[in-house]
Every structure is written in structure tokens, then in C-alpha cells.
A = this chain, B = another copy of it.
């Protein structure tokens, strides 16, 4: 993999507010990184001006642009096949249209650009540098504000017919009377198992009972971090919220296993910090719901990428494959 003339790749992670970028070597070390604002321009051309300047500045620190083999971009609604960002309503310059992002960036930099969504980028990152190194079949689940997924089969990310495969956060966790989801449907896994879902469970349970809980003392709206801290301090209600969240994840994971029989499911993102509080109920309910042939055989593991570097590493890993 090491190319002495072009030994590095660049990784760019586009979020709604900020965009992270970095230069990465073949061992997965982030050599330099920086952050720019995503939301200061409504015109994507002006955003790309900022991004390309920041990229060139970074590249200069590591020997120049000519040492960069490829650029990988993780972006909301990113389509790997077409290199486009489509209907990304969370990006101020996105909106309900299709932006030929990879092509535009290639024209500006002269370097090949590959683009996908952030969960797929995370899966490639984990396979290249992290917990699933050497695994040919695994599923990456990102537990952040929402629930994302990147599915790897036979060593390749599944993009499907149109480039948008792997929306496991929008599979059905509760069929009837499920929670309303931002996507317009109800009962999606994301409404239960994301950071927002955990906070929602907390609010519902606090309103529905008189059970004492540290969470009742908060003066600001409950976040999943509050629930984590309360659980970490032994709060029973908060602990049960993680049990419930893990149960929902485990039930869904059993169905995912029936689809692709992965070696492992890898957990990534803020909620994964809950560790055993989440892992144990996931394993219990997944195994209770699995077909016999898979019981006790599917590993649930946490991402091994350093959280501050993970987004850049994930995106950058795409750069090796161009």
C-alpha cells in the first residue's frame, strides 16, 4: 500500500456546522488536521474555495499536494457511484438538489476524489485502520445524533443499485405506534437508539412515572450525556434507559445478521461510550432473537479509532481505493 512518491491520502468529513480535514499516512496516523466552517456560505463554490485553500495549506505542511494520492470525502447523502451530494437539507449549500462535489473538487485540486456518506466512510476507516482490519463481512453501526450504518460484504462496502444502501437506522424497530421519525415514517430504529432517542426515552419515562432519578434535578433539557452520567452514578432509571436502548438495538441486530451473516457488528459514535451498559443488553437481546445457528457467534465490538481522528480517518481510507 505504501507508495513512496504519493505516500499520503486526505480525509474530509463534512458536517452541518463544521468540516474536518486531515492528511493521513498508510499506518493511519493523522499527520496534520484542521477544521473549517461548513455553514458560512450558501454557495457551494465559495465553500469549495475555503476547503481547497485549507487543504493546500495542510498539504504543504506534509511535503506538498503532489504527495497526496487521493482524497476521500464523507458527506451527508453522499453517493459513492456518482460522487454527488443529493438533497442534503442539513447543509446550508445543499438543499434539495444534486451537487457534483467529487468532480468539482477534482477539477480544483487535480487529485482523484471519492465520496460516500459518513457511516460508509466509518466502515472503510475501521476496515483499513481499526477493529475490523482483515474482516470481510461486518456491519458498522454509528450511534450519533441519528443511527447510521455501513455494511461490508466480501470486503466491499454495499452501495446497492443506486448508491444509497445501508440505511439501517431507518429499519423498523417498532411496527405499530412507533415513535415519529424525522424521515416522515414511524418506529425507525433511529428514534430509539440514537442520542436523541435516548433523551426522548428519558423524557417519556420521567413524565410517565414518579420514580426518583438524578435526571429530575436537571435545569436544562435532558441529553443522552446526562443519561450516561446519571447511569454512571448508579441512577436506576438511567441504567434501565440504556437497557431498553440496548434491547432495541439487539432485536434489530438479529434481523441484520439474518441478512448478511456478518462476523461482527461494530459500534461507533457518542453513545458507544456507554460501554458495557449498552453492550450487555445488546448481546442479550440479539442472542435471544437470533436463529440458533448464530447464537453466541456474532461479535459486538467497539470502534478502535480514536474519536477525535475517526471522521478524518474514515474519509481518508476511501482515498487509498481510488
Contacts and interface: CB of A to CB of B under 8 A. Distances in A.
Contact of A262 (B161, B289, B291): B161
Interface residues of A, number: 42
A92 interface: no
Question: Quick one: copies of this chain in the complex?
Answer: 2
Given A175-B175, A185-B289, A153 B158 contact: yes
A255 interface: yes
Nearest to A264: B161
A165 interface: yes
A259 B151 CA distance: 8
A256 interface: yes
A114 to B, nearest CB: 17
Interface stretch (A9-17, A166-174, A206-214, A313-321): A166-174
Nearest to A166: B259
Given A158-B153, A289-B172, A292-B183, A259 B258 contact: no
Interface of A: 87, 136-137, 151, 153-154, 156, 158-168, 170-172, 174-175, 183-185, 251, 254-256, 258-263, 289, 291-294, 297
